[in-house]
Structure 1
Amino acid sequence: MSELLREKGRNVRRALIPLISTSLVIWPLTGLGSPLKWGYAPNDPAPYVVVENHQLGPSITLTLGHAVAERLGRSVRFIPVPNNRIDDALASHHINVICNTIPNWIEQPDRYQWSQVIYEDADIIINRLDQAPIHDLGSLSGAIVGTTLGYYYAPELTNAFNSGQVIRHDARNLPTRLNMLLHGRLDATIEFRRSAQYAIAQQGLDNLRLNDWVVEHFALQCVVSYPDPNWSRQVAEAIDSLVEDGTLPHLLQPFEGL
């Protein structure tokens, strides 16, 4: 890791300390003695998830989990769960909460408690500045597009992949896809806007374009799973309170526009 990235990481940590303390409004959760088991998908991109030395590092997920736990007056334990195991982890209560999701991504979503929308994001197309802007699907015809393994994209784009109009190329993670794009091994890549902005700012990649075309928009939420639905409701209400009183946007500031 370069000294620049180390310094940026230190800046995020320093910024988080006073921000987390602003959320210390206790939201009593009666009957719950054990830590809040907060799930996260290790392969989710920064700034949503950052894994350092096999543990969750400074990230939106870490900040949000601590803020909710403090509001509930509980401790929190962060548990890694691969994306293909999230449904099982919720059903078995191996985890109590996971965020950055929507009901369509969860099996039988109605059996769980959901927070309100906590923030929004979108799949957008990234390409190089020496290429033409991407305005629509037609602009991608014949292009090799970097994608996330196992990720399901908007129906319009999925149909283009299946028909061969656009060539899908799965790559391990966002930094790998950006590197392939820079070296001409990809014509474009599709990413969450917030994650792409974060990565490009951190790495100083001023020769890449974040295109305006929104492939798919996401209103992201948290899903809560406890054996007792009353506990689930209280946790969801604590998450909602961070949105409603303006604490959550404040907590996100260190991860925006780095």
Structure 2
Amino acid sequence: MLAGLLFAAIGGATCRAQAPERPELVFIAPTSNTLPLAEFEGNRLRAGILKDLGEAIAARLQRRARFLPLPSRRVRAALRDGEADGLCYVIPGWLDGQHDWSSVVIPDAALLAGTQQAPELAQLQELEGQAIGTVVGYRYPEVEALLGAGFVRDDAPTMLANLRKLAAQRLPYALAERTSLAYFLRQHPEAGLRTVLTLGRIDARCAFSRKARLPFGQVNQAIDDLLADGSVERILSRYR
């Protein structure tokens, strides 16, 4: 009897040890993002809204999240080719190609931020031909529409570098999202940055590859469920 129990215990442990891992859901983590969206440790996504949200979506689908750090210029190809399943905090105007789009997940706003010394502006067109702080690989459809060829970019490698450059008064104005600017000012109130103009809403969504590892209807339902039960709001509140 003892031998039988011992065999059963060993057999059960072996079955547990050999249990297959949950299938993965791969999210792109653009390396140009910084907190509150993303914090990297080396080439690994360590924290941020994108990590928390991706893990929540994957868990709702009984999958494990894996994050693929990529520079902004490689995002479109990675989604097109199915190298990754999805990317969150994006809008159609930022991302070319055919993708499946979720409901709005993170409401935000596009801003022109400035130093305290920067002159007030009545409209963005007053900056035609003047350098504005931007992030490499980011697209700014509102600004491109208003300034056209007069949009002069001064690219920084990340949003954090963009705002630090502004705080150091290397430029009088920079483009940012409300979420990123508010987080930066909570960490660095002495920076003295302010919102000069609100340029438009950002109804940020998640975009999924047409070659994703599971049907889009399933993942979109998972996102809708996370929105409905307050899970997304609880994630966002951690970074406010």
Query: How far is the alpha carbon of 1:155 from its aligned partner?
Result: 4.9
Offset of residue 228 of structure 1: 7.1
Q: How does 1:1-258 map to 2 (within 5 A)?
A: 34-109=23-98, 112-140=99-127, 143-157=130-144, 160=147, 162-163=149-150, 167-211=152-196, 213-225=197-209, 227=211, 231-256=215-240
CA distance 1:119–1:175, change in 2 (3 Å)? closer
1:50–1:56: 8 Å Cα contact kept in structure 2? yes
**In structure 2, do the counterparts of structure 1 residues 33 and 155 end up closer, same or farther at CA, with 3 Å as the change threshold?**
same
Structure 2 unaligned residues grouped into runs of 5+: 1-20
Do the aligned partners of 1:113 and 1:236 also contact (CA within 8 Å) in 2? no
Contact 1:148/1:170, CA 8 A, preserved across alignment = yes
- Residue 71 of structure 1 deviates from its aligned partner by 1.2
| Percentage identity across paired residues of the two chains | 27
SS at the partner of 1:79? strand
Task: Identify which range, 132-141 or 244-253, moves more after superposition.
Answer: 132-141
- Structure 1 residue 249: deviation in Å? 0.7
Shift, 1:118, TM fit:
0.3
- 154-163 vs 44-53, greater mean Cα deviation: 154-163
- Deviating above 4 A after TM superposition, structure 1's stretches of 4 or more consecutive aligned residues are 155-159, 226-230
Aligned-pair CA distance for 1:135: 3.7
TM-score (norm 2): 0.80
Structure whose CA Rg is larger: 2
Number of matched pairs: 220
CA displacement at 1:141 relative to structure 2: 5.5
CA pair 209-35 structure 1, distance change in 2 beyond 3 A: same
Task: State the AA in 1 paired with 2:140.
Answer: Y
Amino acid at match of 1:233: G
Q: Distance in 1 between matches of 2:180 and 2:239?
A: 9
Structure 1 unaligned residues grouped into runs of 5+ = 1-31
